[in-house]
Structure 1
Amino acid sequence: MSTTAPHQPRRTPTGRRVVRVLLAVLVVLVLVVVGFLVWAKTVMQGERPASLEAWTDERVSIESFDDSIVMTPLDGASDRGLVFIPGAKVDPYAYLAKLVDAVAETGTTVIITKPILNLAFFDQRPLDTFTRHAPEVSEWYVGGHSLGGVRACMMAGEEDVAGIVFFGSYCANDVSDSGLAVLSIAGTDDGLSTPEKIGDAAHLLPADAVFVEIDGANHASFGDYGVQPGDGVATATDREVRDEITRALAAFWAE
């Protein structure tokens, strides 16, 4: 008895081309995803001397969690807290030194978030993801640097918070009728969140928003992570910027 092998369909030249195109598209997509993940994970690192100074400051307690860094005043703690969102691709630890005096001198608990993929816009976690680390705080502000401030403004519209604090940043959504207390701290030499851009977005904030400019500060002055492409040249020292940030926050919360 003879048997006949089952018929095997032959791929046409058109079919082979389709397969090759699909494989090529898949490879490109994989490379794009891998490239994006590598780019997102490469952050502008905090400067070790500045960060170490904050860690060793005996006026505050600093704890690191998977989602955030919590800075707590050891004496004179108030019931006020600030959830601070870093700028895009900036190491969260780069902000410790600039905020440590404000924590100690105003009694404010500061929680610096660790954004997903180091980009605030990808981090859609609710505010209580971070505020749960400080259950003793009853009055919360949200804020951030650069794109972190933009994200903070979006969160303020969704959460029950007392106000917003911008650090070289501005709002992209309208909160002018929100009744929120708002402080904007900017640098005169900021090449990214320029004074002009902040001024153009001022109408999105409540009429009684407080605006403070630090003479000689640039965009990177609000953290300690080195030079940032496209930024202006800072003429103010890190110490001067740190003092001005502390002074502005103290005056804002004393009102």
Structure 2
Amino acid sequence: MKHQKIKIFKRLWITFGICFILWIVISFQTKGVDEAILQSNSSIQVINTENIISFTPKKSYQKVFIFYPGAMVAADAYAPLCRKIAENGYKSIIIKMPWRQPSYGYNIPKEIDLFKDSTKQYILAGHSKGGMMAAQFVYENPTLIDKLILLGTSHPRDFDLSQSSIPIMKISGSNDGLADTKSVNRNKPKLPITTKYVLIKGGNHSQFGYYGSQLGDDKASINREEQQKIILNSILSFIKM
């Protein structure tokens, strides 16, 4: 009888594990991104390779925006935001992380020589774990990046960027269950006193991109389009500074 109960428990545990993994895979899939966003047109050239998705204005540009996705999130979940940044006159590049893990791919911009044109300014941004690794990249390469933007992350936490000389902006959501306001405020001493903070009232974690709900996140009280508009306008204002 005891042996039978153990077998039943194991089967239930395996079933639960499989269902949980499937739920995670489904929830992190890209959601609501029109196919046209990933296609070139008369003003934007789109290149989709093994390492990047890039949106390049066909007019001349001086600034390059590089984006690190959150852990487990598909790169094209951030395509609507990055395409709009390109439509405003800046080259925009999403880095595709190996196994969708920013900790494995945060050095890709150096590996593929994205910084070879010294006449350009480079803005590095990242969401969630991607934000953590964007901060890590700046910590390790202080002369390569001109501006840093952190979205939906409480990092840096384990290292100090307070003496960084580059402009930094952190964008948070008041309903973010994974990078809550308390955690963001607790780590403020790790960033320069000049850091610009933007709090999106009603915004949550998953609406920083276009994908499903995320375990541990809180429900947003604004819709994704409204949150994305605030993110875009904040980034554009910061880039123009």
Shorter-chain TM band: 0.7 to 0.9
Aligned to 1:85: 68
Gaps of 5+ in 1: 1-34
Aligned to 1:204: 190
Residue identity matched to 2:123:
Y
Structure 2 counterpart of 1:94, from 54, 77, 100: 77
Gaps of 5+ in 2: 1-17
Q: Tell me how far 1:155 sits from its aligned partner.
A: 0.4
Aligned to 1:168: 152
Q: Aligned runs of 1:192-231 on 2, under 5 Å?
A: 192-231=178-217
Aligned residue for 1:117, secondary structure, equals: helix
Does residue 113 (structure 1) correspond to residue 95 (structure 2)? The answer is yes
Aligned residue for 2:33, secondary structure, equals: helix
**Number of equivalent positions:** 215
CA RMSD of aligned residues (A): 2.5
Distance 2:210 2:190 in 1: 29
Aligned to 2:122: 140
Identity among equivalent pairs (%) = 23
TM-score after normalising by structure 2: 0.80
Q: Aligned runs of 1:39-78 on 2, under 5 Å?
A: 42=25, 44-47=28-31, 49-56=32-39, 58=41, 59-75=43-59, 77-78=60-61
CA displacement 1:152-203 (0-9 Å, x = unmatched): 1010122221121011113232111110110111111110011111111111
Aligned to 1:190: 176
Which moves more between the two structures, 169-178 or 134-143? 134-143
Aligned residue for 2:215, secondary structure, equals: coil
Moved over 6 A (4+): none
Aligned to 2:4: none
**Whose radius of gyration is greater, 1 or 2?**
1
Residue identity matched to 1:180:
I
